[in-house]
Structure 1
Amino acid sequence: MDWKKLSTTKITEVYSRLFLNLCYICHTKAKTTLCQSCKQGLPSNHTHCLQCKRPTYVSNILCGQCQSTPPAYQVCVAPYRFEGIIKNLIHGVKFNQRNHYIRPLTTLLSEHLMESYSGKHWPEQLLYVPSHPSRIKERGFCQTKALATQLTRELRHQLGDKCPSLTKKNPIKKIKNTQAQHSLSRKERLKGPKNSYVITSPIAKHIALFDDVMTTGSTIEHCTKLLLAAGAEQVDIWVIARTPDKEHQI
Protein backbone atom coordinates (compact mmCIF):
# COMPACT_ATOMS: atom_id res chain seq x y z
CA MET A 1 0.00 0.00 0.00
CA ASP A 2 1.24 3.46 -0.91
CA TRP A 3 0.91 5.17 2.47
CA LYS A 4 2.19 8.51 1.12
CA LYS A 5 -0.51 8.60 -1.56
CA LEU A 6 -3.16 7.47 0.91
CA SER A 7 -2.27 10.17 3.46
CA THR A 8 -2.28 12.86 0.77
CA THR A 9 -5.70 11.70 -0.44
CA LYS A 10 -7.13 11.72 3.08
CA ILE A 11 -5.73 15.18 3.84
CA THR A 12 -7.30 16.48 0.64
CA GLU A 13 -10.65 14.93 1.56
CA VAL A 14 -10.59 16.44 5.05
CA TYR A 15 -9.54 19.87 3.72
CA SER A 16 -12.34 19.82 1.16
CA ARG A 17 -14.89 18.78 3.77
CA LEU A 18 -13.85 21.50 6.22
CA PHE A 19 -13.11 24.43 3.92
CA LEU A 20 -14.19 23.92 0.31
CA ASN A 21 -17.64 22.38 0.60
CA LEU A 22 -19.05 25.50 2.21
CA CYS A 23 -21.01 28.43 0.82
CA TYR A 24 -18.66 31.39 0.38
CA ILE A 25 -21.26 33.77 1.82
CA CYS A 26 -23.13 32.08 4.67
CA HIS A 27 -20.67 29.17 5.26
CA THR A 28 -23.34 26.49 5.31
CA LYS A 29 -22.74 23.14 3.61
CA ALA A 30 -22.90 23.47 -0.16
CA LYS A 31 -21.89 21.33 -3.14
CA THR A 32 -20.94 24.44 -5.13
CA THR A 33 -19.44 27.81 -4.22
CA LEU A 34 -22.83 29.23 -3.18
CA CYS A 35 -25.74 27.48 -1.48
CA GLN A 36 -29.20 27.56 -3.06
CA SER A 37 -30.50 30.10 -0.56
CA CYS A 38 -27.76 32.60 -1.37
CA LYS A 39 -28.13 31.95 -5.10
CA GLN A 40 -31.83 32.78 -4.86
CA GLY A 41 -30.91 36.14 -3.37
CA LEU A 42 -28.68 37.17 -6.28
CA PRO A 43 -29.81 40.21 -8.31
CA SER A 44 -30.37 38.49 -11.67
CA ASN A 45 -30.53 40.73 -14.71
CA HIS A 46 -33.80 39.29 -16.00
CA THR A 47 -35.22 42.30 -17.85
CA HIS A 48 -32.71 44.14 -19.98
CA CYS A 49 -31.91 45.67 -23.34
CA LEU A 50 -31.45 42.95 -25.96
CA GLN A 51 -28.18 44.46 -27.15
CA CYS A 52 -26.21 46.03 -24.28
CA LYS A 53 -27.98 44.23 -21.40
CA ARG A 54 -28.77 47.52 -19.67
CA PRO A 55 -31.35 46.70 -16.95
CA THR A 56 -34.86 47.80 -17.93
CA TYR A 57 -38.41 47.39 -16.65
CA VAL A 58 -39.51 45.58 -19.81
CA SER A 59 -37.81 42.63 -21.51
CA ASN A 60 -37.13 42.05 -25.23
CA ILE A 61 -36.57 45.69 -26.15
CA LEU A 62 -33.71 47.84 -27.38
CA CYS A 63 -32.85 50.71 -25.05
CA GLY A 64 -32.83 54.25 -26.44
CA GLN A 65 -29.03 54.39 -26.54
CA CYS A 66 -28.74 51.21 -28.64
CA GLN A 67 -31.46 52.45 -30.99
CA SER A 68 -29.73 55.79 -31.59
CA THR A 69 -26.11 54.56 -31.44
CA PRO A 70 -25.76 50.76 -31.76
CA PRO A 71 -22.67 49.42 -29.94
CA ALA A 72 -19.70 47.98 -31.86
CA TYR A 73 -20.25 44.55 -30.29
CA GLN A 74 -23.12 42.16 -31.09
CA VAL A 75 -22.97 39.74 -28.15
CA CYS A 76 -23.09 40.77 -24.49
CA VAL A 77 -23.36 38.43 -21.51
CA ALA A 78 -24.21 40.25 -18.26
CA PRO A 79 -26.15 37.91 -15.96
CA TYR A 80 -26.45 40.14 -12.87
CA ARG A 81 -27.28 43.66 -11.79
CA PHE A 82 -24.53 45.45 -9.93
CA GLU A 83 -26.28 45.58 -6.57
CA GLY A 84 -26.89 43.48 -3.47
CA ILE A 85 -24.74 40.37 -2.96
CA ILE A 86 -23.02 40.65 -6.34
CA LYS A 87 -21.93 44.22 -5.61
CA ASN A 88 -20.58 43.18 -2.19
CA LEU A 89 -18.60 40.29 -3.70
CA ILE A 90 -17.04 42.44 -6.44
CA HIS A 91 -16.23 45.25 -4.04
CA GLY A 92 -14.72 42.68 -1.68
CA VAL A 93 -12.29 41.62 -4.40
CA LYS A 94 -11.49 45.13 -5.66
CA PHE A 95 -11.18 47.07 -2.43
CA ASN A 96 -10.90 44.69 0.53
CA GLN A 97 -8.41 42.01 -0.62
CA ARG A 98 -11.08 39.30 -0.42
CA ASN A 99 -9.68 37.29 -3.31
CA HIS A 100 -11.55 34.17 -2.17
CA TYR A 101 -14.66 35.80 -3.69
CA ILE A 102 -13.12 35.41 -7.15
CA ARG A 103 -14.13 31.75 -7.32
CA PRO A 104 -17.89 32.16 -6.71
CA LEU A 105 -18.03 35.14 -9.10
CA THR A 106 -16.32 33.26 -11.94
CA THR A 107 -18.31 30.10 -11.24
CA LEU A 108 -21.56 32.05 -11.61
CA LEU A 109 -20.40 33.70 -14.83
CA SER A 110 -19.12 30.43 -16.32
CA GLU A 111 -22.52 28.80 -15.72
CA HIS A 112 -24.25 31.56 -17.68
CA LEU A 113 -21.63 31.43 -20.43
CA MET A 114 -22.12 27.68 -20.89
CA GLU A 115 -25.84 28.34 -21.30
CA SER A 116 -25.40 31.38 -23.59
CA TYR A 117 -22.98 29.62 -25.97
CA SER A 118 -24.81 26.31 -26.14
CA GLY A 119 -24.68 25.30 -29.81
CA LYS A 120 -22.70 28.43 -30.75
CA HIS A 121 -19.06 29.13 -31.61
CA TRP A 122 -16.93 30.14 -28.65
CA PRO A 123 -14.46 33.03 -28.98
CA GLU A 124 -10.87 32.06 -29.74
CA GLN A 125 -9.26 34.42 -27.24
CA LEU A 126 -10.17 35.95 -23.89
CA LEU A 127 -8.90 39.47 -23.16
CA TYR A 128 -9.68 41.65 -20.16
CA VAL A 129 -9.99 45.39 -19.57
CA PRO A 130 -6.83 46.14 -17.55
CA SER A 131 -6.12 48.65 -14.83
CA HIS A 132 -3.36 51.25 -15.16
CA PRO A 133 0.05 50.07 -13.82
CA SER A 134 -0.03 52.66 -11.04
CA ARG A 135 -3.47 51.43 -9.93
CA ILE A 136 -2.21 47.84 -9.98
CA LYS A 137 0.75 48.86 -7.83
CA GLU A 138 -1.57 50.63 -5.40
CA ARG A 139 -4.03 47.72 -5.18
CA GLY A 140 -1.41 44.98 -5.36
CA PHE A 141 -3.00 43.16 -8.30
CA CYS A 142 -5.26 43.64 -11.32
CA GLN A 143 -8.69 42.28 -10.37
CA THR A 144 -9.83 41.76 -13.97
CA LYS A 145 -6.71 39.70 -14.70
CA ALA A 146 -7.29 37.58 -11.59
CA LEU A 147 -10.95 37.05 -12.48
CA ALA A 148 -10.19 36.26 -16.14
CA THR A 149 -7.49 33.74 -15.10
CA GLN A 150 -9.87 31.86 -12.80
CA LEU A 151 -12.67 32.05 -15.37
CA THR A 152 -10.38 30.45 -17.97
CA ARG A 153 -9.55 27.60 -15.58
CA GLU A 154 -13.23 26.87 -15.02
CA LEU A 155 -14.14 27.05 -18.71
CA ARG A 156 -11.19 24.86 -19.70
CA HIS A 157 -12.39 22.22 -17.26
CA GLN A 158 -15.72 22.12 -19.12
CA LEU A 159 -14.70 22.97 -22.69
CA GLY A 160 -11.22 21.50 -23.08
CA ASP A 161 -9.64 22.64 -26.35
CA LYS A 162 -12.67 24.82 -27.17
CA CYS A 163 -11.87 27.13 -24.25
CA PRO A 164 -10.80 30.65 -25.30
CA SER A 165 -7.07 31.15 -24.77
CA LEU A 166 -5.75 33.67 -22.25
CA THR A 167 -2.35 35.00 -23.30
CA LYS A 168 0.34 35.58 -20.70
CA LYS A 169 0.57 39.24 -21.74
CA ASN A 170 -2.75 40.99 -22.27
CA PRO A 171 -2.78 42.77 -25.69
CA ILE A 172 -4.84 45.63 -24.20
CA LYS A 173 -2.81 48.14 -22.21
CA LYS A 174 -4.09 51.12 -20.25
CA ILE A 175 -1.78 54.07 -20.84
CA LYS A 176 -3.75 56.85 -19.19
CA ASN A 177 -4.36 56.75 -15.44
CA THR A 178 -7.95 57.97 -15.24
CA GLN A 179 -9.84 58.65 -12.03
CA ALA A 180 -11.58 55.66 -10.44
CA GLN A 181 -14.87 55.07 -12.29
CA HIS A 182 -17.00 54.67 -9.17
CA SER A 183 -16.08 58.24 -8.13
CA LEU A 184 -17.21 59.82 -11.42
CA SER A 185 -20.58 61.02 -12.68
CA ARG A 186 -22.13 59.42 -15.76
CA LYS A 187 -21.10 62.41 -17.89
CA GLU A 188 -17.49 62.16 -16.67
CA ARG A 189 -17.39 58.39 -17.28
CA LEU A 190 -18.52 58.84 -20.87
CA LYS A 191 -15.60 61.21 -21.49
CA GLY A 192 -12.99 59.20 -19.59
CA PRO A 193 -11.95 56.23 -21.79
CA LYS A 194 -10.87 58.22 -24.87
CA ASN A 195 -7.20 57.56 -25.68
CA SER A 196 -6.79 55.62 -22.43
CA TYR A 197 -6.06 52.20 -24.01
CA VAL A 198 -3.91 50.79 -26.82
CA ILE A 199 -3.52 47.37 -28.45
CA THR A 200 0.10 46.23 -28.17
CA SER A 201 0.19 42.77 -29.78
CA PRO A 202 -1.65 40.60 -32.36
CA ILE A 203 -5.14 39.36 -31.50
CA ALA A 204 -7.49 36.62 -32.68
CA LYS A 205 -10.41 37.09 -35.06
CA HIS A 206 -13.09 36.27 -32.48
CA ILE A 207 -12.49 37.90 -29.10
CA ALA A 208 -14.20 37.70 -25.72
CA LEU A 209 -13.63 40.96 -23.84
CA PHE A 210 -14.05 40.60 -20.07
CA ASP A 211 -14.68 43.21 -17.40
CA ASP A 212 -16.12 42.81 -13.93
CA VAL A 213 -18.79 45.53 -14.22
CA MET A 214 -20.25 47.57 -17.08
CA THR A 215 -21.76 50.91 -16.11
CA THR A 216 -22.15 53.39 -18.98
CA GLY A 217 -20.46 50.99 -21.40
CA SER A 218 -18.04 53.67 -22.63
CA THR A 219 -14.87 51.76 -21.67
CA ILE A 220 -16.18 48.54 -23.24
CA GLU A 221 -17.16 50.41 -26.41
CA HIS A 222 -13.80 52.13 -26.69
CA CYS A 223 -11.85 48.87 -26.24
CA THR A 224 -14.15 47.05 -28.68
CA LYS A 225 -13.50 49.62 -31.40
CA LEU A 226 -9.75 49.37 -30.79
CA LEU A 227 -9.90 45.57 -31.14
CA LEU A 228 -11.92 45.77 -34.34
CA ALA A 229 -9.47 48.29 -35.76
CA ALA A 230 -6.60 45.96 -34.80
CA GLY A 231 -8.01 43.05 -36.82
CA ALA A 232 -10.73 41.39 -34.74
CA GLU A 233 -13.85 40.45 -36.70
CA GLN A 234 -16.14 39.89 -33.71
CA VAL A 235 -15.91 41.00 -30.09
CA ASP A 236 -18.20 39.42 -27.49
CA ILE A 237 -18.61 41.20 -24.15
CA TRP A 238 -18.48 39.19 -20.92
CA VAL A 239 -19.23 41.03 -17.67
CA ILE A 240 -20.40 39.74 -14.33
CA ALA A 241 -22.78 42.61 -13.69
CA ARG A 242 -24.44 45.60 -15.35
CA THR A 243 -25.11 48.75 -13.34
CA PRO A 244 -28.78 49.83 -13.43
CA ASP A 245 -29.58 53.44 -14.28
CA LYS A 246 -30.61 55.40 -11.20
CA GLU A 247 -34.28 55.35 -12.21
CA HIS A 248 -34.15 51.54 -12.37
CA GLN A 249 -32.43 50.97 -9.02
CA ILE A 250 -34.53 49.47 -6.29
Structure 2
Amino acid sequence: MNKNETHCLLCTQPLQLITSWKALLTKQFPPSICEKCLARFERNTSHESTSLYRYNEAMKDFLHQYKFLQDVALAKVFRQELHTHLKHEKATIIPIPMHPEKQKERTFSHMDELLKSAKIPYIQLLEKTTTETQSSKNREERLQTPPLFRLLPDIRVEYKEYLLFDDIQTTGTTLQHATQLLLGAGAENVRIFTLISG
Protein backbone atom coordinates (compact mmCIF):
# COMPACT_ATOMS: atom_id res chain seq x y z
CA MET A 1 0.00 0.00 0.00
CA ASN A 2 1.18 3.51 -0.74
CA LYS A 3 0.82 6.52 1.57
CA ASN A 4 -2.38 7.69 -0.14
CA GLU A 5 -4.09 4.41 0.74
CA THR A 6 -3.11 4.43 4.42
CA HIS A 7 -3.24 8.17 5.17
CA CYS A 8 -5.97 10.79 4.85
CA LEU A 9 -5.70 12.58 1.50
CA LEU A 10 -6.52 15.91 3.17
CA CYS A 11 -4.67 16.00 6.50
CA THR A 12 -2.23 13.06 5.96
CA GLN A 13 -3.09 11.49 9.33
CA PRO A 14 -3.10 7.65 9.36
CA LEU A 15 -6.47 6.17 8.43
CA GLN A 16 -8.26 3.73 10.72
CA LEU A 17 -8.63 0.88 8.23
CA ILE A 18 -11.15 -1.53 9.72
CA THR A 19 -12.41 -4.18 7.33
CA SER A 20 -15.96 -5.27 8.10
CA TRP A 21 -18.24 -7.87 6.52
CA LYS A 22 -20.62 -5.09 5.56
CA ALA A 23 -17.89 -3.23 3.67
CA LEU A 24 -16.85 -6.44 1.88
CA LEU A 25 -20.39 -7.55 1.00
CA THR A 26 -21.59 -4.12 -0.15
CA LYS A 27 -18.38 -3.53 -2.12
CA GLN A 28 -17.65 -0.24 -0.41
CA PHE A 29 -14.57 1.74 -1.37
CA PRO A 30 -11.85 1.92 1.26
CA PRO A 31 -11.80 5.30 3.05
CA SER A 32 -9.64 8.02 1.50
CA ILE A 33 -10.09 10.67 4.20
CA CYS A 34 -10.39 10.48 7.99
CA GLU A 35 -13.60 10.93 9.98
CA LYS A 36 -12.43 14.33 11.26
CA CYS A 37 -11.96 15.70 7.73
CA LEU A 38 -15.20 14.14 6.54
CA ALA A 39 -17.09 15.86 9.38
CA ARG A 40 -15.92 19.26 8.07
CA PHE A 41 -18.06 18.86 4.94
CA GLU A 42 -21.67 19.97 5.41
CA ARG A 43 -24.23 17.57 4.00
CA ASN A 44 -27.13 19.02 2.06
CA THR A 45 -30.26 17.84 3.85
CA SER A 46 -32.81 19.67 1.69
CA HIS A 47 -35.22 17.17 0.10
CA GLU A 48 -35.75 19.41 -2.95
CA SER A 49 -32.04 19.63 -3.69
CA THR A 50 -30.08 17.52 -6.14
CA SER A 51 -26.75 18.22 -4.41
CA LEU A 52 -24.95 16.09 -1.84
CA TYR A 53 -23.14 18.85 0.06
CA ARG A 54 -23.33 22.55 0.82
CA TYR A 55 -20.53 24.95 -0.05
CA ASN A 56 -18.51 25.84 3.06
CA GLU A 57 -14.86 26.58 3.94
CA ALA A 58 -13.90 22.90 3.90
CA MET A 59 -15.43 22.50 0.44
CA LYS A 60 -13.75 25.68 -0.78
CA ASP A 61 -10.37 24.26 0.33
CA PHE A 62 -11.15 20.90 -1.27
CA LEU A 63 -12.09 22.45 -4.63
CA HIS A 64 -9.00 24.66 -4.62
CA GLN A 65 -6.66 21.75 -3.95
CA TYR A 66 -8.46 19.37 -6.34
CA LYS A 67 -9.06 21.65 -9.31
CA PHE A 68 -6.49 24.43 -9.13
CA LEU A 69 -3.58 22.65 -7.44
CA GLN A 70 -4.29 19.66 -9.73
CA ASP A 71 -4.42 17.03 -6.97
CA VAL A 72 -6.23 14.35 -9.01
CA ALA A 73 -6.02 11.84 -6.12
CA LEU A 74 -8.73 13.89 -4.38
CA ALA A 75 -11.27 12.55 -6.88
CA LYS A 76 -11.52 9.63 -4.40
CA VAL A 77 -12.77 11.76 -1.49
CA PHE A 78 -16.47 11.57 -2.41
CA ARG A 79 -16.43 8.39 -4.50
CA GLN A 80 -18.52 6.35 -2.03
CA GLU A 81 -21.24 9.03 -1.84
CA LEU A 82 -21.34 9.47 -5.61
CA HIS A 83 -21.38 5.71 -6.19
CA THR A 84 -24.21 5.22 -3.69
CA HIS A 85 -26.35 7.96 -5.27
CA LEU A 86 -25.67 7.20 -8.94
CA LYS A 87 -25.07 3.43 -9.21
CA HIS A 88 -28.75 2.68 -10.03
CA GLU A 89 -29.30 5.79 -12.17
CA LYS A 90 -31.34 4.91 -15.28
CA ALA A 91 -30.68 8.19 -17.12
CA THR A 92 -27.56 8.59 -19.26
CA ILE A 93 -25.06 10.62 -17.26
CA ILE A 94 -23.30 13.55 -18.94
CA PRO A 95 -20.60 15.42 -17.02
CA ILE A 96 -20.35 19.15 -17.66
CA PRO A 97 -17.18 19.50 -19.76
CA MET A 98 -14.30 21.92 -19.40
CA HIS A 99 -13.15 24.10 -22.27
CA PRO A 100 -10.25 22.27 -24.03
CA GLU A 101 -7.82 25.09 -23.11
CA LYS A 102 -8.78 24.87 -19.42
CA GLN A 103 -8.37 21.10 -19.50
CA LYS A 104 -4.85 21.44 -20.94
CA GLU A 105 -4.04 23.96 -18.20
CA ARG A 106 -5.37 21.71 -15.40
CA THR A 107 -4.10 18.47 -17.00
CA PHE A 108 -7.28 16.49 -16.22
CA SER A 109 -11.06 16.80 -16.37
CA HIS A 110 -12.15 17.06 -12.75
CA MET A 111 -15.73 16.03 -13.58
CA ASP A 112 -14.68 12.90 -15.45
CA GLU A 113 -12.28 11.91 -12.66
CA LEU A 114 -15.02 12.17 -10.00
CA LEU A 115 -17.22 9.75 -11.98
CA LYS A 116 -14.35 7.40 -12.89
CA SER A 117 -13.26 7.19 -9.26
CA ALA A 118 -16.84 6.31 -8.24
CA LYS A 119 -17.06 3.73 -11.07
CA ILE A 120 -20.07 5.49 -12.63
CA PRO A 121 -20.49 5.15 -16.42
CA TYR A 122 -20.97 8.35 -18.40
CA ILE A 123 -20.79 9.70 -21.94
CA GLN A 124 -19.59 12.98 -23.41
CA LEU A 125 -22.01 14.85 -25.69
CA LEU A 126 -21.11 18.48 -25.01
CA GLU A 127 -18.23 20.81 -25.72
CA LYS A 128 -17.71 24.08 -23.82
CA THR A 129 -17.43 27.12 -26.10
CA THR A 130 -15.93 29.66 -23.68
CA THR A 131 -13.33 29.81 -20.91
CA GLU A 132 -15.33 32.41 -18.95
CA THR A 133 -16.77 31.44 -15.58
CA GLN A 134 -20.33 32.39 -14.65
CA SER A 135 -19.60 33.03 -10.98
CA SER A 136 -17.72 36.23 -11.82
CA LYS A 137 -20.75 37.76 -13.60
CA ASN A 138 -23.73 39.62 -12.16
CA ARG A 139 -27.31 38.45 -12.80
CA GLU A 140 -27.85 40.65 -15.87
CA GLU A 141 -24.55 39.57 -17.45
CA ARG A 142 -25.47 35.90 -16.85
CA LEU A 143 -28.86 36.37 -18.54
CA GLN A 144 -27.15 37.84 -21.61
CA THR A 145 -24.52 35.09 -21.84
CA PRO A 146 -24.28 33.54 -25.34
CA PRO A 147 -24.58 29.71 -25.52
CA LEU A 148 -21.93 28.07 -23.34
CA PHE A 149 -22.02 24.69 -25.10
CA ARG A 150 -22.36 22.99 -28.44
CA LEU A 151 -22.77 19.32 -29.28
CA LEU A 152 -19.61 17.40 -30.07
CA PRO A 153 -19.15 16.70 -33.81
CA ASP A 154 -21.27 13.83 -35.20
CA ILE A 155 -23.30 13.53 -31.98
CA ARG A 156 -26.98 12.64 -32.12
CA VAL A 157 -29.01 13.23 -28.98
CA GLU A 158 -31.48 10.39 -28.43
CA TYR A 159 -35.05 10.83 -27.21
CA LYS A 160 -34.40 9.64 -23.65
CA GLU A 161 -33.58 10.97 -20.20
CA TYR A 162 -30.20 12.48 -19.42
CA LEU A 163 -28.63 13.47 -16.12
CA LEU A 164 -26.22 16.42 -16.16
CA PHE A 165 -23.47 16.11 -13.55
CA ASP A 166 -21.48 19.09 -12.28
CA ASP A 167 -19.27 19.69 -9.26
CA ILE A 168 -21.02 22.81 -8.00
CA GLN A 169 -24.22 24.69 -8.77
CA THR A 170 -24.03 28.38 -7.90
CA THR A 171 -25.96 30.55 -10.35
CA GLY A 172 -27.48 27.67 -12.34
CA THR A 173 -26.60 29.33 -15.66
CA THR A 174 -24.16 26.65 -16.80
CA LEU A 175 -26.59 23.79 -16.17
CA GLN A 176 -29.46 25.75 -17.71
CA HIS A 177 -27.50 26.29 -20.94
CA ALA A 178 -26.59 22.59 -21.16
CA THR A 179 -30.20 21.55 -20.43
CA GLN A 180 -31.62 23.82 -23.15
CA LEU A 181 -29.12 22.53 -25.70
CA LEU A 182 -29.94 18.87 -24.99
CA LEU A 183 -33.72 19.45 -25.00
CA GLY A 184 -33.44 21.43 -28.23
CA ALA A 185 -31.42 18.60 -29.78
CA GLY A 186 -34.07 15.98 -28.99
CA ALA A 187 -33.67 14.79 -25.39
CA GLU A 188 -36.88 13.61 -23.74
CA ASN A 189 -35.94 14.99 -20.31
CA VAL A 190 -32.87 16.43 -18.57
CA ARG A 191 -32.26 16.29 -14.81
CA ILE A 192 -29.41 17.77 -12.77
CA PHE A 193 -27.19 16.32 -10.06
CA THR A 194 -24.27 18.13 -8.42
CA LEU A 195 -21.78 17.34 -5.71
CA ILE A 196 -22.20 20.79 -4.11
CA SER A 197 -24.77 23.56 -4.01
CA GLY A 198 -23.19 27.00 -3.68
TM-score in terms of structure 1 length: 0.63
Distance 1:45 1:96 in 2: 26
1:30-45 pair list within 5 angstroms: 30-31=16-17, 32-45=31-44
Is the CA contact (8 Å cut-off) linking 1:213 and 1:241 kept in structure 2?
yes
> What is the Cα deviation at residue 212 of structure 1?
0.8
The residue identity in structure 2 corresponding to 1:84 is: E
Q: 1:173 aligns with which of 127, 134, 137?
A: 127
> What is the Cα deviation at residue 24 of structure 1?
2.0
SS, match of residue 221 in structure 1? helix
SS, match of residue 79 in structure 1? strand
> What is the Cα deviation at residue 103 of structure 1?
0.8
Q: 1:148 aligns with which of 94, 104, 115?
A: 115
SS, match of residue 105 in structure 2? helix
The structure that has the greater radius of gyration is 1
- Pair 1:128–1:209, CA change in 2 (3 A): same
Distance 2:16 2:106 in 1: 31
> What is the Cα deviation at residue 95 of structure 1?
0.6
Q: 1:127 aligns with which of 85, 89, 94?
A: 94
Which has the larger displacement, 97-106 or 31-40?
Answer: 31-40
Is the CA contact (8 Å cut-off) linking 1:213 and 1:239 kept in structure 2?
yes
- Pair 1:34–1:108, CA change in 2 (3 A): farther
Q: Could you tell me which residue of structure 2 aligns to residue 20 of structure 1? A: 5
- Pair 1:183–1:22, CA change in 2 (3 A): same
Spell out, residue by residue over 1:23-72, the C-alpha distance to the aligned partner (whole angstroms, 9 max, x if none): 22232313412222222221112247x2xx3xxxxxxxxxxxxxxxxxxx
Gaps of 5+ in 2: 18-30
1:65-214 pair list within 5 angstroms: 77-113=50-86, 122-151=89-118, 153=119, 155=120, 165-167=121-123, 170-175=124-129, 177-192=130-145, 194-200=146-152, 201-204=155-158, 205-214=160-169
- Pair 1:135–1:21, CA change in 2 (3 A): same
Distance 2:82 2:5 in 1: 19
- Alpha-carbon RMSD: 2.4
Which has the larger displacement, 77-86 or 178-187?
Answer: 178-187
Spell out, residue by residue over 1:184-217, the C-alpha distance to the aligned partner (whole angstroms, 9 max, x if none): 334434433x322112312451212111111111
Which has the larger displacement, 126-135 or 138-147?
Answer: 138-147
Spell out, residue by residue over 1:220-240, the C-alpha distance to the aligned partner (whole angstroms, 9 max, x if none): 011112112222222221211
Q: Could you tell me which residue of structure 2 aligns to residue 29 of structure 1? A: 15
Distance 1:234 1:199 in 2: 17
SS, match of residue 70 in structure 2? coil
SS, match of residue 14 in structure 2? coil
Which of the pair is proportionally richer in helix?
Answer: 1
Is the CA contact (8 Å cut-off) linking 2:82 and 2:115 kept in structure 1?
no
SS, match of residue 78 in structure 2? helix
The residue identity in structure 2 corresponding to 1:39 is: L
Instruction: Give the number of aligned pairs.
Output: 181
Distance 1:190 1:101 in 2: 33
